[in-house]
Amino acid sequence: MTPVTAFASESLVQSVDWLTIAPPTLTAVVALVVLVADLFVPEERKRLLGWTAIAGLVAALALLVPLRAGDRSTFCLTADTRAGACSYTADHFTLVIQLLVLGGALLTALLSVTETRERLPAGEYWFLLLSSAAGAALLPASRDLATLVVALEVASLPAFALVGLKRGDRMSGEAALKFFLSSVTATAVTLLGVSFVYAATGTLHLTELAQSLDDVPGRLQTLAEAGVALTLVGFAFKTAAVPFHFWVPDTYVGAPLPVAAYLSVVGKAVGFTGLILVTVVAFPSYADVWGPALAALAALTMTVGNVAALRQVSTRAWSAVRLLAWSSVAQAGYLLVPIAAAAYSSDDQIGATVAYALMYAVVNLGAFAVVALVARRHPENRIADYRGLYATSPAVALALAFFLLNLAGLPPGIIGLFAKVTVFSAAVDAGLGWLAVIMGVNVVIGLYYYLRWTALLFRTPEDAVRNAPAGTPVPHTVPAPITLAIVLTAAAGVVLSGYPQIALRFAANSLF
Amino acid sequence: MIDISESVMQFLLASIVAGPLLGAAAALLPAPPGLKGKSPDQAVLRHGVTVTGVILLAAVVLALGFDHDQPSRMQATTDISWIPALDVRIHLGVDGISLPLLVLTALLSFLCALYSYFKMPSGPSPKGFVALLLVLESGTLATFAVLDLVLFFLAFEMVLIPMYFLIARWGGEGKQAAAWKFILYTLLGSVVMLLGLLLIGVKAGTFDMVALAADNGRGLTTSVQVIAVLAIGVGLAVKTPMWPLHSWLPDAHTAAPTVGSVLLAGVLLKMGTYGFVRIVLPIAPDGMRIFAPYLAAFAVAGIIYGSLACLALARPGNKGDLKRLIAYSSVGHMGFVLLGIATMTPTGVNGALFANVAHGLVTGLLFFLVGAVKDRYGTADLDTLAGATGAALYGRAPRLGALLAFAAVASLGLPGLAGFWGEMLALFGAFEPAEGLSRPAFLTFMAIGAFGTLLTAAYLLLVVRRVCMGGPRPAGETPIADVQGYEFAAWTPLVALTVLAGLWPAVLLGLTDPAVQKLLAGGIR
């Protein structure tokens, strides 16, 4: 690279601020440790691997604390003329997303402890999960397109393998292949877009891109515009925005349940983080291009997701996971609204997406935890299986009802309601009244199916008694890690509902 | 009336709002030793009576401690920052407009809890029933006590889930469909309302109702006000309900258990009209002025429509359900309330607020009575009840018959009872609407509304004729029980207050009038 050679006299060796990059680095290191240890740990001690992975994630989360001032960055260009362009920045935005991603991975890990003991190969599973989490944690910090694409791939590649990890399950393999093919196509398109943008501007750093895209020579204008559009496609795919959503339901159903939970939260976080970085930080001068596009995408995504979720038949096999899959598509639509609003308004709207994502991560993982618990008794996991859950295990039913009402945005799910309110107010503030109205209609549709499920929990379980074959006692064990995950998410939901400021303050302040 | 220090008042108001919520949580827990009662069911129902009783007591003390010389001033105010990010504050307070509604809500909730202690509606365990009843009470009380737009919305939404479950779990025939219709209609309305509230909040820079009312719409352009009034108005109109957005109401009332109907008619509908008076009138007066004639037109259409529907249901051979009939009569009565609000004059708005409370008392009583009739006969179908000549309630259960006749004439607006003043004042208001509103149009509305009172009288007298009177009964008929002790206990307060409000309207008007004057004048007076 020319800049480096030009200033070779200064120093070729960058000083690396290890503390700043500690959270993703530690996650990656623990991933390798687990992989190597898998070779030496005897079969009956395999569960140690899981707890090592969980401890690693907790430590990575703890390492966010010393960074909380949000003023560190590293891998900066040393040249005076290009000061301020860094490849890795740990600002508040990065830290919140890292908290979300690592926290989501931690909860996923808790859900997987029993699963790895029974069905999945432990060493590979933990390695893949942690690698993917490391990539997802790197992504919000990356501030140049190359790092961004690398992080995106580090987060995605292990995910393909995770989806296909159910040994001897044809559906799992098919889901992985579907996921892989469509994802790789999207990545190729993104790379093409990045190369166009690089060709037009000559830089990869996001902040520099923002300046140089303003004065692209006229004959390169088309190239730059095509580059911007193509780059966005890859990230839209990761968020599962319509029309890049078709892989979602089959992948979620085919994947092991914890992996579906992971994809619905961390996978989505990866997508919208990338979108935010690319649109708001790198391409602000093209706001008139991506603003309307994202607004249309948001409207389409939430509508398609909600209508499909509405049409789920509750007696079909795996309808519970299918419904959550479609509802996650719909929620991705809400997440896109503030990003679209950022194109129309000078105020900082991104915080609304972050606040919404935090709420969504907590309650969606909670819902998946309950689903994982119920799946132990009803492997078919139909929504109809949840009928009368309150009668058999009231606490679990109340928790699921709370999570679902949060997703719907109805009291007592106060944080769910207020997260929607911030998104609405971002849209209203930006003058996107039509989008707010579409979202309003969608919220009501969503309410219908969430509430239908909630109502089912409290019905009398009459047919369940009839269907259970007499004489075979149903196993009633509740694994401790899943219980812990439910308790953690429910407690977080309740605390956030009582004091929404914890999550919503991100909506009020500028994060960058 | 009695001097209570401000901090005690603050505590009273806060505990009125939060108390039922804590009670609901406690209802789900097992009863502590010493309070176990005869059975867990009995213990939890008694818990419901105790909590609502304490809340009613607190509301009465609050009303006594309220400074009646300054009803236009917000009293017992609490103002704590809750979510600085959205500028949402926990801002509570009462004035002359909200105080009567608070007391009415506390009273009706207590009477409902008392009634269900003795006559629990058939359905699953009473534990959930009591908890939902208390959450419902908390949500409605909060709606009348909060002074922040977002909090108002939160409270508005809070009642939906409990009401849904009350209808869907403890209701009668067709309960699932009715419950869905109720919640989907109201939700669609309230989401639109949220957009309107946010628009006001974003454009005016605050969600505080007191500050916004004092500003009186000066900080908002007319176009913003028009959009906001349209959006908020739709949400409130669904709840009120205003014709033609009323169609959830008859189904919900028909399917709901007695207690649910009483609370739905007596308290939940008031949230809609209260929102009009508290939010739309003072905060966006310019927008309201544009929509007022339309609102009034819909209101009188509702009056006529409700009365005609009732007349059709009351006629022999139409298989009219008594609960459905009273639900339609609610549409008519709420039409008068909306007409009063649409005049934008102190007279009309005072009339609307009066009619609001009167409707809560009278229709609450009517639903109790019809529920009692349904329990005794097993049906509320007017044709089955009346048979060829009439149900002859005067002869078979004279006290029940007399009470039903009393409630019916109160509902038709007989002078001297509560129903009269509100409707008369609303019509008076329409005779001379506020400046800027077309007088000929409102005179027409007034004439139509007055004709509506005649129709109301017609169908209610027809109902009395068919239910209370009738030919001699065939021998060997199973006798039906007359009014029981607990029924007397639950209904007497409503009867007494109906008479009191009819004979001494100044009790209420003295409270509301100064507050209404201030609201309409925009805080300067």
| Average pLDDT over every residue of B450-479 | 84
B338 with B299: CB under 8 angstroms? yes
Q: Is A424 in the B-facing interface, judged by CB distances under 8 Å?
A: yes
d(CA B346, CA B424): 13
Instruction: Pick A504's closest partner by Cβ from B85, B124, B198.
Output: B85
Residue B502's contacts (CB-CB under 8 Å, 6 or more residues apart) are: B410, B415, B416, B417, B418, B419, B420, B421
Predicted pLDDT of residue A14: 67
B186 with B238: CB under 8 angstroms? yes
For B383-421, how does the pLDDT look when each residue is reduced to its tens digit (9 = 90+)? 888 777 777 788 888 888 899 999 999 998 888 898 899
Residue B278's contacts (CB-CB under 8 Å, 6 or more residues apart) are: B97, B98, B152, B209, B519
**Joined tokens for residue A217:** 């020579």
For B103-128, how does the pLDDT look when each residue is reduced to its tens digit (9 = 90+)? 999 999 999 999 999 888 887 888 88
Predicted pLDDT of residue A1: 42
| Average pLDDT over every residue of A417-437 | 89
Counted residue by residue, chain B has a size of 525
Identify all chain B residues contacting A408, using CB atoms and an 8 Å cutoff.
none
CB contact under 8 A, B83 and A443: no
For A493-512, how does the pLDDT look when each residue is reduced to its tens digit (9 = 90+)? 999 988 888 888 887 777 77
| A269: amino acid identity, one letter | A
B44 with B126: CB under 8 angstroms? yes
CA atoms within 13 A on the CB side of B412: 20
* Nearest chain A CA: its distance from B123 CA (Å): 10
CA distances from A500 to A323, A423, B106, B305 (A): 27, 14, 29, 45
Q: Is B357 in the A-facing interface, judged by CB distances under 8 Å?
A: no
Residue A325's contacts (CB-CB under 8 Å, 6 or more residues apart) are: A248, A249, A251, A252, A253, A260, A264
B9 with B3: CB under 8 angstroms? no
H or E element at residue B91? strand B88-94
CB contact under 8 A, B157 and A455: no
B258 with B166: CB under 8 angstroms? no
Of residues A115 and A353, more confidently modeled: A353
B517 with B433: CB under 8 angstroms? no
Cα–Cα–Cα angle for A114, A494, A239, rounded to 5 degrees: 65
Predicted pLDDT of residue B31: 77
Predicted pLDDT of residue A29: 94
On the question of pLDDT at B302 being above 90, the answer is yes
pLDDT above 70 coverage of chain A, percent: 92
User: Which position has the token pair 């942690």?
Assistant: A130
Q: List the beta bridge partners of residue B78.
A: B92
d(CA B111, CA A483): 41
On the question of pLDDT at A369 being above 90, the answer is yes
Predicted pLDDT of residue A82: 56
User: What is the residue-averaged pLDDT of chain A?
Assistant: 85
**Joined tokens for residue B29:** 């827990």
On the question of pLDDT at B216 being above 90, the answer is no
Evaluate whether ipTM surpasses 0.90.
no
A117-131, A312-326, B461-475, B497-511: which is most confident? B497-511
A76-85, A332-341, A374-383: which is most confident? A332-341
| Average pLDDT over every residue of B447-460 | 92
On the question of pLDDT at A8 being above 60, the answer is no
| Pairing verdict, β A86-90 and B88-94 | unpaired
CA A401 to chain centre: 22
Predicted pLDDT of residue B354: 94
Instruction: Pick A424's closest partner by Cβ from B157, B188, B194.
Output: B194
Phi, psi (5° rounding) for residue A167? -65, 135
| Average pLDDT over every residue of B438-450 | 93
Q: What is the pTM of this model?
A: 0.89
**Joined tokens for residue B512:** 């509301």
Predicted pLDDT of residue A7: 46
**Joined tokens for residue A114:** 């029993």
Predicted pLDDT of residue B214: 86
pLDDT band at A201 (very low <50, low <70, confident <90, very high): confident
pLDDT band at A5 (very low <50, low <70, confident <90, very high): very low
Nearest to B414 by CA among B451, B462, B362: B362
What is the CB neighbour count within 10 angstroms for residue A317?
12
Predicted pLDDT of residue A470: 44
Q: What is the DSSP letter of B378?
A: S
pLDDT above 70 coverage of chain B, percent: 99
Predicted pLDDT of residue A62: 93
Predicted pLDDT of residue B359: 93
Q: Is A429 in the B-facing interface, judged by CB distances under 8 Å?
A: yes
On the question of pLDDT at A17 being above 90, the answer is no
Q: Is B475 in the A-facing interface, judged by CB distances under 8 Å?
A: no
B373 with B464: CB under 8 angstroms? no
H or E element at residue A72? strand A72-76
Phi, psi (5° rounding) for residue B92? -115, 155
CA distances from A143 to A5, A136, A274, B132, B148 (A): 22, 14, 10, 51, 41
On the question of pLDDT at B370 being above 80, the answer is yes
d(CA B108, CA B136): 12
pLDDT band at A4 (very low <50, low <70, confident <90, very high): very low
Identify all chain A residues contacting B199, using CB atoms and an 8 Å cutoff.
428
Predicted pLDDT of residue A472: 45
Q: What is the DSSP letter of A144?
A: B
Predicted pLDDT of residue B43: 87
Predicted pLDDT of residue A141: 92
Per-residue burial over B415-433, b = 16 or more CB atoms within 10 Å of its CB, e = otherwise: eebbbbbbbbbbbbbbbbb
Predicted pLDDT of residue B525: 43
B139 with A402: CB under 8 angstroms? no
Cα–Cα–Cα angle for A309, A313, A316, rounded to 5 degrees: 120
CB contact under 8 A, B202 and A458: no
| Average pLDDT over every residue of A453-463 | 79
Phi, psi (5° rounding) for residue B252? -60, -45
Identify all chain B residues contacting A410, using CB atoms and an 8 Å cutoff.
157, 160-161
d(CA B456, CA B462): 10
Lowest mean pLDDT among A368-372, A388-392, B344-348: A388-392
On the question of pLDDT at A319 being above 70, the answer is yes
Rg (CA), chain A: 23
Predicted pLDDT of residue A462: 61
Torsion over CA: A51, A56, A61, A66 (sign):
positive
The burial class, CB within 10 Å (0-12 / 13-18 / 19+), for B399 is middle
Q: Is B414 in the A-facing interface, judged by CB distances under 8 Å?
A: no
CA distances from B60 to B109, B496, B507, B513 (A): 14, 16, 14, 20
Q: Is A455 in the B-facing interface, judged by CB distances under 8 Å?
A: yes
Torsion over CA: B499, B504, B507, B509 (sign):
positive
* Nearest chain A CA: its distance from B149 CA (Å): 12
Phi, psi (5° rounding) for residue A348? -80, 115
B 161-200 near A (Cβ less than 8 A):
161, 164-165, 168-169, 180, 183-184, 187-188, 191-192, 194-195, 198-199
| Average pLDDT over every residue of B178-182 | 90
SS3 percent helix, strand, coil of chain B, rounded to 5, is 75, 5, 20
Q: Is A436 in the B-facing interface, judged by CB distances under 8 Å?
A: yes
Nearest CA in chain A to B169: A459
- For A296-335, give the secondary structure using H, E and C: HHHHHHHHHHHHHHHCCCCCCCCHHHHHHHHHHHHHHHHH
CB contact under 8 A, B194 and A428: no
Nearest to B199 by CA among B220, B218, B214, B213: B220
Predicted pLDDT of residue B55: 94
pLDDT band at B381 (very low <50, low <70, confident <90, very high): confident
User: What is the residue-averaged pLDDT of chain B?
Assistant: 89
